[in-house]
């Protein structure tokens, strides 16, 4: 089981990044494409905490950029691979993109993370872009169609190390 426990310093960083991203978006009236009924700020905190957990595990820097448009299509670079992190609050939930067309997925790898508590994150697994497109399907959880992939198609996150070596 690949679990990361965020330190108080990590949580402080998460909150600073979330404030930097959320504040300007709220002022501009930009809404997140949330699946859950949480505040805009909490949606940012949950996602960023998962990104920081993955960054800590792989010993890379978390993305600290803030933009009204969001990111460049991925959350982290790990071993030269562009990685998109999706955090879910319940174990077994699907990896869900905010779009319904898989071709708009720009990352090389998707990483599925489950939030176990405010500080504990389970890095469930990873999937390559081509498999994400092949194995996924459109679903609507009541907030619009999304491209989703079942966790059963994911492999352990340590595969990213091997995939990174192959692409180098």
For residue 27, what pLDDT is reported?
A: 63
Task: Of 40, 31, 67, give the one whose Cα is nearest residue 144.
Answer: 31
Strand arrangement of the beta sheet that strand 145-149 belongs to: 95-96, 145-149, 137-140
For residue 29, what pLDDT is reported?
A: 62
Residue 86, SS3 per DSSP? strand
Higher pLDDT, 98 or 152: 152
How many other C-beta atoms are found inside a 10 Å radius of the C-beta of residue 43?
20
Kind of pairing between the strands at 81-88 and 109-115: parallel
> At residue 144, does pLDDT exceed 80?
yes
Higher pLDDT, 30 or 11: 11
For residue 113, what pLDDT is reported?
A: 98
> CA neighbours within 13 Å on the CB side: how many for 3?
9
Can you give the residue ranges of every domain in the chain?
A: 3-167
Q: What is the pLDDT of residues 71-121, one digit of tens each?
A: 566 899 999 999 999 999 899 999 999 889 988 898 999 999 999 999 999
Higher pLDDT, 32 or 6: 6
For residue 140, what pLDDT is reported?
A: 92
For residue 1, what pLDDT is reported?
A: 67
For residue 71, what pLDDT is reported?
A: 57
pLDDT band at 66 (very low <50, low <70, confident <90, very high): low
Rounded Cα gap, residues 153 and 149, in angstroms: 7
Q: What is the pLDDT of residues 19-55, one digit of tens each?
A: 887 766 666 665 555 555 677 778 889 899 999 999 9
């Amino acid at each position: 089981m690949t679990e990361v426990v965020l330190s108080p310093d990590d949580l402080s960083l998460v909150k600073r990044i979330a404030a930097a991203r959320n504040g300007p978006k709220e002022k501009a009236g930009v809404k997140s494409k949330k699946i859950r009924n949480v505040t805009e700020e909490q949606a940012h905190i949950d996602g960023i905490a998962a990104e920081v957990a993955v960054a800590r595990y792989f010993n890379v820097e978390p993305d600290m950029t803030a933009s009204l448009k969001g990111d460049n299509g991925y959350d982290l670079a790990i071993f030269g691979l562009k990685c998109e992190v999706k955090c879910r609050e319940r174990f077994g939930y699907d990896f869900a993109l905010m779009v319904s067309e898989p071709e708009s997925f720009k990352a090389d790898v998707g990483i599925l993370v489950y939030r176990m508590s405010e500080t504990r994150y389970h890095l469930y697994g990873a999937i390559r872009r081509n498999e994400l497109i092949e194995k996924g399907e459109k679903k609507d959880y009541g907030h619009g169609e999304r491209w989703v992939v079942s966790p059963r198609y994911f492999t352990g996150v340590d595969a990213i190390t091997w995939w990174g070596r192959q692409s180098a």
